Every structure is written in structure tokens, then in C-alpha cells.
Amino acid sequence: MSYKITGSGCFIPSVVQGNSAFIDYSFLDNNGSKFEIDNNTIIEKFNSITGIEERKYIAPELNTSDIACQAALKAIKDAKLDPETLDYIIVAHNFGDISSNSKQIDTLPSLASRVKAKLKIQNPSCVAYDILFGCPGWVEAMIQAQAFIKAGMAKKCLVIGADALSRVVDLHDRDSMIYADGAGATILEESNQEGGILSHCSMTFTADHEADFIFYGKSYNTRNLNGDKFIKMQGRKVYEFALNKVPAAMKKCLDDAKIEIEQLKKIFIHQANKKMDEAIIKRFYKLHKKTIPKDILPMNIEEFGNSSVATVPTLFDLVLKQNYKGHSLNKGDIILFASVGAGMNINAITYQI
């Protein structure tokens, strides 16, 4: 018995914001002071590090549960599945439904319940719940879905990663340029075919204050007295943490699958920062004392930005369906999903198409 992705889908937001849109922003440091360099220089440095040239935002009338539902509909259609036969709907996100005119988090009811209602599923045995695991949420939800199927508790699971980070950015924080919106969904089913999930690995680091690396905090504008909070990040610490911890976790996952690194066709890593992701892959291959293959790492961060839990399933769907930027997948190919994010959490899945 194997555990395979039988359908995938993603929602690509319609609002595109290029780097030039930030030229008139009033960026401040974490002490509320203006930077000595101008915004042109800030944006140029940002682009050279992250690789981001533009990002996608959802339209004002949409919320996270809306785009999660749209991605789910595509995955269900792709799997040729009757949604009434779903056993679980698991939605990974970070901030729930936040409307375009409010910074208040809304997670009651859960996004998964909202998605189930939007899909008009009548079956009460279809269990819907959310998972909060930072950016690695979709990967972790896939691991949980496999556990349900393996334990005989389910046969078909809908797994969604969706976020609207544009609703929780501090416009005075340079990091606001990183974040984007999106949704990706997959159907995981038990199968008699070979392949599917071969191994997985998950870790949470908190002993050295890692839990504080990404958090919900006040605006850098000290005159903002309304109490609103925004996504915040200790960028240098996140970067160093990822480089030190993620490659080893990826290696453990691959080793547990008893797969040689030469067998890997693609690595789908969380699209957080182009330079950071490339450095992670370099260290991963260095652990195996191997040279990085030319086309191992699909990336869409340049035009999609960082949409958190949505980055990995969105990129996977684009490569699978559209041969995105010349990347393609064929039956039997072995790939690695990997992510890192708030928690601080790391996870990975070895998967055979």
C-alpha cells in the first residue's frame, strides 16, 4: 500500500505588486528610526538577497478561506474525486481569515470548516480542522494525512496550504516586501501503485529562543497606538538557523527512505528567500559530498513572493501541470518537499511520483 497525491491545484492571486510600488514607503528600523539609505538602495539590496521582483496579493473581496476553496476545487477536479468521499480536510495557515479592512485574526470557525461549507460537502464524517505549523504547515498536514490513512482512519484526504500575508504586514517594515498571498491543495489517497510518500521528518526547535525568530508584533512606527500587530521576523537569525538545521533534516529524510541523492529529480523547498534556499541546497549536497545538479531546484519566488504555507504546493502544481520554467515531472521521479518556518519548525517528505 502506498500514499499518493492523486490531484493538485493552486490559486494564483490577481493583484501583482512590483518592487517599484514600495519606493514611497516610509521604512523604519525596529527602533522606529529612519534608515540612512534611500528606498532605491533598500529595494535593490532586498532584490539581490531575496530574488523577489514582484509578489501576488488577493483581491480585497477575498479571504484566505476563499482562495483555499478555489485551490481545493482544482485539486478535487484533478483527482476526479467526489468530494463527499473525503475523510479529512486539513487546512494549514497562519492568520485565518483577515478581511482587507481589518487586522483582526478570524479563526472561528476553523478555515477547514469554512472550506467544507463552501464546497457544500454534506457528509458529517468528513472531518475538517486547521493546523498551525508556520510555513511548513502544508508539508506537516501531508504527514498527518498519511498517518490517518496508514492507521486505517481515512482513505482520502484534502490537504490545503493557504495564507494572505498581505493583510498582516507592517508597511514601515522592510520585510513587508517579502510577503505574498496564495493557496495550494492536494488530494492524498491510499493506492496500490508504487511510490508515494517514502519517508518524512519533522522537528521543532525552541531551546535557544528559536520560537521568537518569527512572531506577531507591533509596528515599527512608534506613533501607531491602536495596538495592531503584524508579522515580524529576526531575519538574520532565521537565515542562520535555516542554513544550520534544514540541510541535515533533509538528509535524514532522504536517508530514511534509503534513497541515494543521485536519484533525486527535484527539490521543492519553501520559497522564502532565493539566496537562502540556494545556500540550503548547497549545504545539503555538501553533506553528501556531491555536486548540485543544474535543474534540481524549481523556484517561483521571483514572481510569487513568499506566500508561506502555499509556496510548496503551489510550485509543485505549477511544475506538474505547466512545466514551470522548463521544470517537469514524470511517473517514477523521486522528489523532496522541504520547509522551514515559525516555531521554529522544519520538515521534509521524500516522495515518488
DSSP assignment of 258-282 equals T--GGGEEEEEE--S-HHHHHHHHH
- Spatial CB neighbours of 300, under 8 Å, sequence gap ≥ 6: 271, 311, 314, 315, 318, 324, 325
Judge whether 306 and 277 are in contact, CB under 8 Å. no
State in Å, rounded, how far the first CA of the chain is from the last one: 15
198-352: CATH, from 2.60.210.10, 3.10.129.10, 3.40.47.10, 1.10.579.10: 3.40.47.10
Grid cell locating 175:
520585510
For the segment 36-46, the average pLDDT, to the nearest whole number, is: 93
* pLDDT over 80 (residue 79): yes
Percentage of residues in the chain with pLDDT exceeding 90? 92
pLDDT band at 223 (very low <50, low <70, confident <90, very high): confident
Angle between helix 311-322 and 137-150 (nearest 10): 80
- R_g over Cα of the chain: 20
One fold for 2-194 and 198-352: yes
Contacts of 175 (CB under 8 A, 6+ apart): 169, 231, 232, 233, 235
Output the pLDDT for position 263.
96
- Best CA proximity match to 70, nearest among 117, 111, 155, 12: 12
pLDDT for the residue 256: 97
Task: Identify the pLDDT of residue 97.
Answer: 95
Query: How sure is the predictor about 225, in pLDDT bands with cuts at 50, 70 and 90?
Result: low
Architecture of the domain made up of 2-194: 3-Layer(aba) Sandwich (3.40)
Please name every residue paired with 185 in a beta bridge, in sequence order, or none if there are none. Answer: 9, 160
Q: What are the residue boundaries of the structural domains of the chain, listed by start?
A: 2-194, 198-352
Q: What is the mean pLDDT of residues 337-346?
A: 97
Q: Kindly state the average pLDDT of the residues 3-17.
A: 97
Report the pLDDT averaged over residues 296-300: 97
Q: What is the pTM (predicted TM-score) of this model?
A: 0.94
Owner of C-alpha cell 470557525? 109
315-331 pLDDT per residue, tens: 999 999 999 999 999 99
Mean pLDDT, the chain, as a whole number? 95
pLDDT single digits (tens) 89-130: 999 999 999 998 887 889 999 999 999 999 999 999 999 999
pLDDT in tens, 154-192: 999 999 999 999 999 999 999 999 999 999 999 999 998
Is the pLDDT assigned to residue 281 strictly greater than 80? Answer: yes
